[in-house]
Structure 1
Amino acid sequence: MTRILGISAFYHDSAAALIEDGRIVAAAQEERFSRKKHDARFPRQATRYCLEAAGIGLGDVDHVVFYDKPLLKFERLLETYLAYSPRGIASFLQAMPVWLKEKLYLKRLLRKELELMPGGGSAKLPPLLFTEHHQAHAAAAFYPSPFEEAAVICLDGVGEWATTSVWTGTRDGLKPAWELRFPHSLGLLYSAFTYYCGFKVNSGEYKLMGLAPYGEPRYAALIQEHLLDLKDDGTFRLDMKYFDFATGLTMTNAHFDALLGGSPRRAESPLDQRHMDLARSIQQVTEEVVLRIARTVARETGMRDLCMGGGVALNCVANGRLLREGPFERIWVQPAAGDAGSALGAALCAWHDHLRAPRTVQPGDAMQGSCLGPAYSATEIRTRLTSAGAVFTEVDDATLYADTARALGTGEVVAWFQGRMEFGPRALGNRSILGDPRNPGMQRTMNLKIKYRESFRPFAPAVMRDRVNEYFELDTDSPYMLLVAPVQPALRLADAAHEAKFGIDKLMQRRSTLPAITHVDYSARVQTVTREDNARFHALLDAFHEETGCAVLINTSFNVRGEPIVCTPEDAYRCFMRTEIDQLVVGNCVMRKAAQPPVAKDERWQQEFELD
């Protein structure tokens, strides 16, 4: 048996993944264990988990693969600073000590960290391999996909040099077709607007996407006229006069401010219609770039199926439009499409590209529902909850599903903790907070009283796969919550008053019979659930349908704003007690808030997590 450990680290979202003879055994982000969101440090705890999940030590691993080639990245850094000299000297002086002290000696640093792993100190360390950044993205996108062959598009901020890359995936593996190079980056363009609108880069892009439907694309033409030279084939160049990300300490500069008519919004300050219009404009431009690239790739490759990777592939609004309007029959997006998923991609690269192992296509896909993290036995759950001071009752499955469905149907909010933790940014029914989508006040309640985040942030629906087209204009699998689709017209509540409103005033209008998951443009970010993908979550949806006649639940990640998704039963209980969640279910153990011992109210805990 050949075991390969993949590692991504030292930029953001560090992670580890382990495969055995090409089969994915385990994968997890470091943030889930360290409780530091987007943790970039070497994934010590995630690596330990992967080894423990396989019951092995590091000496049993045949190869360790890193997701980046640091010397190529250093080459890009030096060439960029030389090209823009003397501009950017402050950034250069800040970056060089880190590179000269650590990053140029990454192999040595990795070996030092690996020696600390179980079995790492007493055994000879496995050979260390390096993939290119976009090669790891492409491998994570294609090799676990359900397609025998497919075109592959990877879009992100930047790897070593590539910002957009196109590949063909066949039985013979992955072959690169073409790429766009730094500084011309769709991901960095989107992040520039994330920064300008007052959100955190590499974290707040989801907010920008969620804000977009409240605005109008008033700045789209301005963006394409001044910031982005977009060709018919989807290739583009940025006018770097407006950006500072290549050499500066910020994303944008005074030229950008002058073009858009003001300074960047301060974090946490009020949002106005202008910010909503900016969000809508850059979202529309992003979708247009993705569509043009996809049409070009379909024409050049002749492929009918498409795989997508890289951080931009998490833009589920663009994905939904690509599915509806694009040239491909089927689309599969890696659920951990960002840098965390590149740990898995790096391991798969070594197996298929370095060792030339053949690929076997799995029914559905090879990601196992992306539930690749830690799980806890019934005994462990009881022991951990008791140690945390929780008061719980343990019930059988039939009672659990029926009682939970009844609680949800009466307007309660339920935290649902089951099985293996999800890999990637989405909770998919194992580390989730659930609510009734029919409740018109649920979106605001869950945002402000439970998630402690902005009221405009939308929630996603989880729906039984065989009933998805009863509720949404979608008739395909969407297991990873990466496609946005319109709510069925029959469920919409046409309201002239709603159509006449602008911006955030639209939020409080009831837009459909499922108001809590219907965005202001009558869309929703859909997760389809099958019994094969997630038997327990499907059983709960089935019970809720029996109870209410509705086969849809709100599904949002089990965390508060700025906190990583919960990993352990202790994390779950702590989050439950700090919020206004009514009920917590961990395995078959049920906790009601009113039955818990009183805890001293200390709002300082909200300072524990840095806001995203």
Structure 2
Amino acid sequence: MSYILGISAYYHDSAACLLKDAEIIAAAQEERFSRIKNDESFPTEAIKFCLKFANISLAEVDHVVFYEKPFLKFERLLETYVHFAPRGLKSFLKAMPIWLTDKLFIKKNIAKALNTIDPTWEKSRPILFTDHHHAHAASAFYPSPFEQAVVLTVDGVGEWATTTVSIGNSAQLTLKKEINFPNSIGLLYSAFTYYLGFKVNSDEYKVMGLASYGKPIYKALIYDHLIHVKADGSFLLNMDYFDYCTGLSMTNKKFDKLFGHPARAKDEELLVFHKDLASSIQKVTEEIMIKLTQSLYKEFGIENLCLAGGVALNCIINSSIRQHSGFKRIWVQPAAGDAGGALGAAFSIYYAHLSGVRNINLQADGMKQSLLGPCYSQHEVIKTLRVYGLNYEKAEGDLYHRKIAAYLNEGKVIAYFKGRTEFGPRALGCRSILADPRKSEMKAILNAKIKFRESFRPFAPAILEEFADLYFGTGAKNRYMLFTERYLGDHNRHQANHAVLIPGAVHVDGTARVQMVNEAYHPDFHQLITAFYKLTGCPAVINTSLNVMNEPMASSPEDAICCFLNTEIDILAIEGLLIDKKRIGL
């Protein structure tokens, strides 16, 4: 038996993961503890949590592995500056001191940080490193329910690679080909994220949401000037329009001139132009990914596809791949971004370094519903409620779920806190804000009064598995909100007289990012939605993450209480306890 600690850090979405052989014991992002969104710092608190949950000391960990190789990354940085010299001098001078004093000595810094966590950890113990994209690929393939699969990873950039193709076969994962920096689909999408006034490596999902409000009228302009796509889906970027190799921004003046506007300021009004541009880059990225996956299906003739890397969080693209690529089954790592790199790094050590044997369950993946973070007892919750002077009502079992269902039926918004915190960017029914999807106005209420975020942002339905086909048609559904489905709308009424419309959980384009809730894998959440169904005839609820804009998802009871008190959430339902804002006089 071996304990393996995987670490991702120093770029964005720092995280830690602990494996016991091939079993995921715990995984968490540092942001959930520090409360700094996309926190890049060393995941000290995440590591402490993993060790505490497993009830072991750091000294009992057999292997520690980091999710990329810093010397290769430094090599890419130097070669890029030399290639583009004398452009980029300012950026070079800014980056070098950080690398020369800190990032080049990551191994030493990791050892020091681990020794601080546990003084019995010997700084001389070996620390292992794996390639960034290999970590992504391992995170996608090894927890998947597939014996064999094509594994595609697509993000901004790792050391050199931006896109990789591997073949997974039992416990073997073999790299077949890659596309290298500066040619990057992830960085192309991030360049438009920057140009549209959003934060790079954080707000790409806003571009995806905004895209549905526009038309892809700039698609030809993007293909003609920014990217050349080959028949097999591989691509080359025209670096004349981008500044990320040499500058301190993603795009340049030539990019501005091409589209006839300067980059949008953060709080500037969103124009039709911005919506059309978001639609255009979404469509271009989607078409490239379809072409790439179609080519891979033809080349390898394997029925299964695994996806990871930041681009794999684009659920619209995932759905298009599922529909058009030819692959029969697709599995996407729910923590597909850099946080999942910690998980993949740990898996790579178990299977490659330790020659572990892979046991595959064809009916289920190995992610444990991605509920891998901290949990809290009712006693711990009560102690925190007392600190805040909050009175509560206690309810047990079915009564608890029926009371929540009644609140939802009254149009109230619920902060729902139960069990282990989700690993990855999606709330899956443990750190969620819930609302009634039958009310179309609920989207505006949630965005304006609860989430404090842009009005174009959509909300997702969590629906009982047994009703998913009725509302969203036959075909593969997903437990992790990683695909969009076409909502059947009024067509429901002709199929079953009990089908209730759910406009509050449907995006402007008529699709929804569905979470299918299975009784076996997520029993508590299934019981809650079942109680709402029995009361209303509606087998779905709106499910969005328990946080406000620009804050990480809640993890601790204190996080949930603060979100509850500082928004217009009506009810806090937390580990069998109910706090009604009206009853406590707030």
Q: Which residue is 1:287 aligned to?
A: 286
Letter in 2 for 1:397: G
Structure 2 residue 187 is matched with structure 1 residue 199: no
Partners of 2:171 and 2:356 within 8 A in 1: no
Q: How far off its partner does 1:124 sit?
A: 6.6
Letter in 2 for 1:225: D
Letter in 2 for 1:24: I
1:291-326 Cα shifts (integer Å, max 9, x gaps): 011011111211101000000000000001111222
Letter in 2 for 1:590: L
Partners of 1:375 and 1:420 within 8 A in 2: yes
Distance between the aligned counterparts of 1:335 and 1:307, measured in 2?
Answer: 11
The 5-angstrom pairing of residues 244-323 of structure 1 reads 244-323=243-322
Distance between the aligned counterparts of 2:214 and 2:267, measured in 1?
Answer: 19
Q: How far off its partner does 1:328 sit?
A: 0.5
Partners of 1:418 and 1:586 within 8 A in 2: yes
Q: How far off its partner does 1:477 sit?
A: 3.4
Distance between the aligned counterparts of 2:325 and 2:6, measured in 1?
Answer: 33
Q: Which residue is 1:528 aligned to?
A: 516
Instruction: Decide which moves more: 75-84 or 165-174.
Output: 165-174
Helix, strand or coil at the partner of 1:266: coil
Q: Which residue is 1:165 aligned to?
A: 164
Partners of 1:307 and 1:332 within 8 A in 2: yes
Q: How far off its partner does 1:434 sit?
A: 0.4
Letter in 2 for 1:26: A
The 5-angstrom pairing of residues 544-563 of structure 1 reads 544-563=532-551
Letter in 2 for 1:552: A
Q: Which residue is 1:449 aligned to?
A: 449
Q: Which residue is 1:357 aligned to?
A: 356
Partners of 1:474 and 1:485 within 8 A in 2: no
Distance between the aligned counterparts of 1:98 and 1:121, measured in 2?
Answer: 29
Partners of 2:297 and 2:325 within 8 A in 1: no
Q: Which residue is 1:178 aligned to?
A: 177
Letter in 2 for 1:372: L
Distance between the aligned counterparts of 2:152 and 2:284, measured in 1?
Answer: 18
Partners of 1:583 and 1:590 within 8 A in 2: yes
Helix, strand or coil at the partner of 2:458: coil
Q: Which residue is 1:324 aligned to?
A: 323
Instruction: Decide which moves more: 354-363 or 338-347.
Output: 354-363
Q: Which residue is 1:129 aligned to?
A: 128
Q: Which residue is 2:152 aligned to?
A: 153
Q: How far off its partner does 1:372 sit?
A: 0.1
Distance between the aligned counterparts of 1:477 and 1:272, measured in 2?
Answer: 34
Partners of 1:492 and 1:522 within 8 A in 2: no
Structure 2 residue 528 is matched with structure 1 residue 540: yes
Letter in 1 for 2:572: L
1:50-79 Cα shifts (integer Å, max 9, x gaps): 000110111000000000100000000000
1:270-305 Cα shifts (integer Å, max 9, x gaps): 101000000000000010111011011111211101
Distance between the aligned counterparts of 2:276 and 2:121, measured in 1?
Answer: 59
Letter in 1 for 2:275: M
The 5-angstrom pairing of residues 357-396 of structure 1 reads 357-362=356-361, 363-396=363-396
Structure 1 segments of 4+ aligned residues over 3 angstroms from their partners: 119-126, 489-493
1:89-108 Cα shifts (integer Å, max 9, x gaps): 00000000000001111111
Q: How far off its partner does 1:519 sit?
A: 1.3
The 5-angstrom pairing of residues 43-62 of structure 1 reads 43-62=43-62
Helix, strand or coil at the partner of 1:217: coil
Partners of 2:335 and 2:425 within 8 A in 1: yes
Q: How many residue pairs end up in the alignment?
A: 579
Partners of 2:7 and 2:342 within 8 A in 1: yes
Q: How far off its partner does 1:18 sit?
A: 0.1
Helix, strand or coil at the partner of 2:503: coil
Instruction: Decide which moves more: 120-129 or 533-542.
Output: 120-129
Helix, strand or coil at the partner of 2:212: helix
Helix, strand or coil at the partner of 2:466: helix
Distance between the aligned counterparts of 2:193 and 2:157, measured in 1?
Answer: 16
Distance between the aligned counterparts of 1:480 and 1:186, measured in 2?
Answer: 23
1:158-195 Cα shifts (integer Å, max 9, x gaps): 00000000000001410001000000000000000000
Q: Which residue is 1:19 aligned to?
A: 19
- The gaps in structure 2 that reach 5 residues or longer are 494-499
Letter in 1 for 2:143: P
Summarize the Cα distance change of 1:24–1:125 in structure 2 as closer, same or farther, 3 Å threshold. Answer: farther
The 5-angstrom pairing of residues 35-74 of structure 1 reads 35-74=35-74
Letter in 2 for 1:576: F
Distance between the aligned counterparts of 2:474 and 2:274, measured in 1?
Answer: 30
- The gaps in structure 1 that reach 5 residues or longer are 494-511, 599-612
Q: How far off its partner does 1:595 sit?
A: 2.2
Letter in 1 for 2:425: P
Structure 2 residue 215 is matched with structure 1 residue 213: no
Helix, strand or coil at the partner of 2:120: coil
Distance between the aligned counterparts of 1:376 and 1:459, measured in 2?
Answer: 27
Distance between the aligned counterparts of 1:122 and 1:394, measured in 2?
Answer: 44
Structure 2 residue 576 is matched with structure 1 residue 588: yes
Partners of 1:61 and 1:126 within 8 A in 2: no
Partners of 1:115 and 1:125 within 8 A in 2: no
Distance between the aligned counterparts of 2:114 and 2:213, measured in 1?
Answer: 48
Q: TM-score, normalised by structure 1?
A: 0.93
Structure 2 residue 565 is matched with structure 1 residue 577: yes
Distance between the aligned counterparts of 1:488 and 1:549, measured in 2?
Answer: 17
Distance between the aligned counterparts of 2:193 and 2:139, measured in 1?
Answer: 26
Distance between the aligned counterparts of 1:292 and 1:546, measured in 2?
Answer: 45
Letter in 2 for 1:139: A
Q: Which residue is 1:602 aligned to?
A: none
Partners of 2:58 and 2:121 within 8 A in 1: no
Distance between the aligned counterparts of 1:287 and 1:456, measured in 2?
Answer: 20
Q: How far off its partner does 1:473 sit?
A: 2.9
Letter in 2 for 1:10: Y
Letter in 2 for 1:593: K
Distance between the aligned counterparts of 1:55 and 1:287, measured in 2?
Answer: 44
1:118-176 Cα shifts (integer Å, max 9, x gaps): x3436576421000000000000000001111100000000000000000000141000
1:478-537 Cα shifts (integer Å, max 9, x gaps): 0000000100153489xxxxxxxxxxxxxxxxxx93221111211111111101221110
Summarize the Cα distance change of 1:343–1:474 in structure 2 as closer, same or farther, 3 Å threshold. Answer: farther
Q: How far off its partner does 1:597 sit?
A: 5.3
For the aligned residues, what is the CA RMSD? 1.3
Q: How far off its partner does 1:385 sit?
A: 1.8
Summarize the Cα distance change of 1:366–1:172 in structure 2 as closer, same or farther, 3 Å threshold. Answer: closer
Q: Which residue is 2:496 aligned to?
A: none
* Identity in percent: 51
Distance between the aligned counterparts of 1:422 and 1:125, measured in 2?
Answer: 34
Instruction: Decide which moves more: 588-597 or 91-100.
Output: 588-597
The 5-angstrom pairing of residues 513-524 of structure 1 reads 513-524=501-512
1:380-399 Cα shifts (integer Å, max 9, x gaps): 22222222322111111111
Q: How far off its partner does 1:378 sit?
A: 1.9
Helix, strand or coil at the partner of 1:206: helix
1:435-486 Cα shifts (integer Å, max 9, x gaps): 1111021000000100000111000110111210111135323000000010
Helix, strand or coil at the partner of 2:150: strand
Q: TM-score, normalised by structure 2?
A: 0.97
Q: Which residue is 2:460 aligned to?
A: 460
Partners of 2:227 and 2:238 within 8 A in 1: yes
Distance between the aligned counterparts of 1:474 and 1:383, measured in 2?
Answer: 46
Letter in 1 for 2:552: P
The 5-angstrom pairing of residues 332-343 of structure 1 reads 332-343=331-342
Distance between the aligned counterparts of 2:285 and 2:527, measured in 1?
Answer: 38
Partners of 1:64 and 1:126 within 8 A in 2: no
Helix, strand or coil at the partner of 2:16: strand
Partners of 2:142 and 2:171 within 8 A in 1: no
Distance between the aligned counterparts of 2:585 and 2:578, measured in 1?
Answer: 15
Helix, strand or coil at the partner of 2:479: coil
Helix, strand or coil at the partner of 1:193: helix
Instruction: Decide which moves more: 355-364 or 135-144.
Output: 355-364
